[in-house]
Every structure is written in structure tokens, then in C-alpha cells.
Amino acid sequence: MNTSNNELAILSIVLFVTGVLLYTKGTRRAPLPPGPRGIPFLGNMFQFNVMRPYPQYLKWAQRYGPIFSVNLGGQRIIVLNSSEAADELLVTRSKLYSSHESPHVGFDLVSDQQRMVFMPYSREWKIVRKNVHGILGPGPSKQMRKMQDLECRVMLHDLLCHGDTSIVEDFVEGPHGKVPERHWFSIIRRYTTSLMMTLVYGRRIHRIVDNPELHQVYEMMSNITHVSQPGRYLVDALPILRWLPDILAPWRAEGRKMHEWEMDFWGKLFSDSRTAFLNGTGLNGFVQSYLRARAEAGLEDLPGKGATEDAAGWMRDKLITYTAVSIIEAGSDTSSTAVFSFVLLMLSNPDVLRRAKEEMDAVVGSSRMPDWEDEDRLPWLTACIKETLRCAPPLPLGIPHKADEDDIYNGYLIPKGSTVIGNIWAIHMDPVRYPDPTAFKPERFYNPDGKFNWASGPDTHNRDHYIFGWGRRFCSGKYLAEASMFIVLSRLIWAFDFYAASDLQTGKVKLPDVHDVDTFTDGLVTAPKIYPVGFQPRSEKYAEMIKASYRDVQNDWQSMGLAGDKR
């Protein structure tokens, strides 16, 4: 936990007063869930890495069972470690748990209370959710499949040209997971980000190298996942600190500065789109479509944040801006993370990879690329994707919920205001549900005889994994994400013999250890740190098909009025 000298100087006094108030209140109707013993006033604050809590949370889950609690100063955290506990509270009792924890720095200061992912269950959240679902729901998301197909063909061409660059050149990852622009990670990131930018703003990311826009998107996404992690700032745990004057509250200036940084980028994207719309040159995208509908309702000019108070609930400019941010963040970072984890796990399990290639050759062959119609016919590949999401969930603790009222579960009190975490990592590592849970075994999900089902929710029955969350806060982007994962990973298997670097002296393959938490970044989203991989076309025929497809795509961009690729 990062604390300043000023914060530490007043911490003991604030905690003492808080402890006295809690003691004298005397409203406990039941005991709190079990948990590790802390130290007076500070609780469990220094017993685990708050930026990477899931390894320690798993150990405590194994010790204390399906529910435990920890205390970060004044912040009570309730951790749910079984699917039964998470389903009961976050789905069945969703009326009490549909708010998300709203970190003071990440939500109030950096996001000016406009970022959907941290909003309480409120009227504004419902307005945003309705609009997001209108473009990401099961029906609307299929309209993006043409873009997914075309952008994926560009990705294949970029990997073909990339070859062994990530192996023969030395790359160093920057702070907070910053990826060098010539590393193969940037190729995957361009795909996911271009897709979401087209959906939201009607504009592509058509260049990788010398394109600060692409890399700034990920820099800002990395920043928000770090500043919003529970326990990152003392003020998140102790709301009373929010009353301190600026001179004693350095996080306030830091948060406001980050908000200005975000608005310099995201705000400019919105203002440029609004100007283009007013000039009649706006492209097709969520923002332009929404501005058009709002103008037709007589609200062309609607500055400020939040939404109008009338029944229509029109979003004001800043809320539109951050709704666009939320869509781009959700669809870019987690999808690219899943691809990086898939490649790492497949290379770490060569027999699994070999079987996926054999299935691909038998079903698709060498005369065409796989398409979505092949989902039912590639059960081993889809099982590999599911097992990747189980073994390496992009958000191992999901997005923290909040208890809006006191509640009792299994005889334990969950106090109002508690942060409530669905421990996806512990659920996915349950040895009863998933025998030998640390092993990568796609056969858990292999079903060669039945129709393919992602089985990822929101239905609580027969779920194979929990990466998209629970209840009313279930991820709207699931359908788009699953379509992207299938088309990208199936074509990656079809097109390339991808391989890891080898030690020049021993000849042994050099791969990060998938069981080492240091292989992954910290923060809300945990992605593999960069690692070298080479991409070799499976034959010259495949290479020529990829090149021809890339040339054809450039004609598609021109006919659609979108920027062609620059390499």
C-alpha cells in the first residue's frame, strides 16, 4: 500500500476514532466471516500484496472455506470462494449486491464518477447499461463480425511479417506492463483496440509503429486498473480522510492530474467526433449515432456530466465520453490478455497444441480460413479456449461488488458498505470441481458429440468459468469477446507454427512459468508479461493466402470509408 508521511502521521488517530465508533455502535447481529487475524486498527493491511492479492486470497480460501473476511484499516472485504456462495449473493440476492465498489481515487477523482464499471447500482448506471447493451448484446454484437473478420486478416498479415522479430530482438517491458511497439503483443492489441474504436468512434487503428494513440490507450487502461485496486490508496479504505485539506491529501492532486490526462485523450476523441458530427462528416459509430439521436430529440448541446432528469435520461457529454471509454477498455484489454495467455499455455503444453492443429487440418484444411460456422466442428480448440480462461482469468478477482445493506449468509454478517469479491481464482482452482486444477487439461470441456455452448453465463447453471462476472453486473461484452477469441485463435492455429525462443547453449525452450505469479502483471487485470514467440506460416500456400487476403481487405476499407493500413 502506498502511503505518504502525512497519511501515516494521522492514520493512528483516525483508526482509533473509527474503532471507537464501531465498538460503541454495537449493532452486530452475527459474527463476521472467519479470516486471518490482523493487527489493531490496521487489520490485515500489510499481510498481502494489495496489488496482487489473489494468490494469498486462494491460500485463505483453502484455510477458511467458501467465505472469509479481511480488514484493510476501515475497509471490510468479504471474499466469496465458491460458485455456490457467489451465485447466492451476487445473483439470487443481487438486489443487495448489484453496486460495484467505487474507489475514491479511481472513480471520484480520475473518472469524475462517470466510469460505468465503478458506478453504484443507480439510475445513471442503468442508462449507461441500456445503451451499452444496445451495441454489445447477443444480437447487435453479431453485426461486428464482418469487422472482426477483416481486422483478424490484418492481424494474420502482421504476424506473418513479424516472423521471429520478438525472438531475435531484445525487448524490455516498460512500467505497468507497457509493451514495445515492435513486439508481437502490439499486433494483438492493435486488433482488439481497432475493433473497439471502430465500434465506438467509427475509426480504425490502422498503424502500429509510430502510433502513440494505440499505446496511450493501453497506458491509460493499465493506470486505471492499478489505481482502482482495493487497498491501493489509504483514502479508499478510510473515507474520513476525504475531508482532509489538500495539503494533507496528496492523492487528491494526483487523481485530478490523472483525470486531466485522461480527458486530454478521451475528451479530445469525443470533441473531435462531435465536431465532425456537427459538420456533417461524422463516421458511423456509437458516439456519432448517439449524438445524432440526441440532436433529433432537440438536445444537440448538452455539456456536463450525468444524464438529464427527464424520462428519456439523455447522457450528457462527459458521460458519453466515459461510456465510450468503458466499452473500449472492456473490449481491448481483457480480450488481448486472453490471447497472450492462450499462446503461452499452448506452447507450454505441446501435445495439446499438436492435437489442436490436427483437428484444424481435418476440419478446415488448407484451402480456406476457419470461420464462426466451424465452432461446432472444432470442439478441441474451443475446449482449449475455455481451459485458458479457467487457468488464466484476465480478472482473477473480477470487479468488486458492494453490499448496499446488512446481510446474513451462512450465519455470518456481511455489513452494509462491505466490499464483496467473487473470487474467480479460487473457484477456478477448486479441486473438487476441477480435479488437478493447476494442470492445463482441455479435456475437462471437450464434447465432440454435442452442439457447442460457451457455458459462460449469465445462467448460473452448468457454467464452465466465471470470467464475465455475476448477476446484474454481468459483462455485456461477453458475446463480442467470445466471437473475437474464437476467430483470432482458430486462425492463429490454422495459419502458423508459432514457437518459443530456445536457449542457444542447451537448446531448451525458454518460456515463462505459467504457475509463477511473477509471469503476470499486477492490478485488476493480470496479463502475461511480454515473452518472445516466433510465427512461421505452415506452408508457402498459407503465406500466399494471408498476403492475398490482406490486399483484399484494403479494398474493403476503401469501400467502407475507413483508413487503410499503413505498414
* 525: nearest Cα among 93, 207, 263, 189: 189
Rounded distance between C-alpha atoms, residue 151 and residue 223, angstroms: 26
For 245, residues 6+ apart whose C-beta sits below 8 A from its C-beta are none
Task: Tell me the CA distances in angstroms from 127 to 133, 320, 323, one per residue in order.
Answer: 10, 11, 10
Rounded distance between C-alpha atoms, residue 503 and residue 57, angstroms: 35
Rounded distance between C-alpha atoms, residue 281 and residue 445, angstroms: 48
Rounded distance between C-alpha atoms, residue 211 and residue 232, angstroms: 31
* Torsion sign, CA atoms 150, 151, 155, 158: positive
HSE-up (13 A, CA, CB side) for residue 564:
11
C-alpha angle 330-333-335 in degrees, rounded to nearest 5: 85
Rounded distance between C-alpha atoms, residue 428 and residue 453, angstroms: 18
HSE-up (13 A, CA, CB side) for residue 147:
25
**475: annotated binding-site residue?**
yes
Residue pointed to by grid coordinates 473478420: 149
Provide the grid cell at 475. Answer: 459483462
Q: Give the H/E segment covering residue 495.
A: helix 478-495
- What would the DSSP string read from start to end of 382-446? HHHHHHHHHHS-SSTT-S-EE-SS-EEETTEEE-TT-EEEE-HHHHHT-TTTSSSTTS--GGGG-
For 505, residues 6+ apart whose C-beta sits below 8 A from its C-beta are none
Phi, psi of 256, deg, nearest 5: -65, -40
CB 477 within 8 Å of CB 327? yes
CB 382 within 8 Å of CB 443? no
The 3-class SS string of 520-549 reads: ECCCCCCCECCCCEEEEECCHHHHHHHHHH
Rounded distance between C-alpha atoms, residue 448 and residue 441, angstroms: 15
Provide the grid cell at 141. Answer: 454484437
Annotated binding-site positions: 475
Annotated binding-site positions for heme: 475
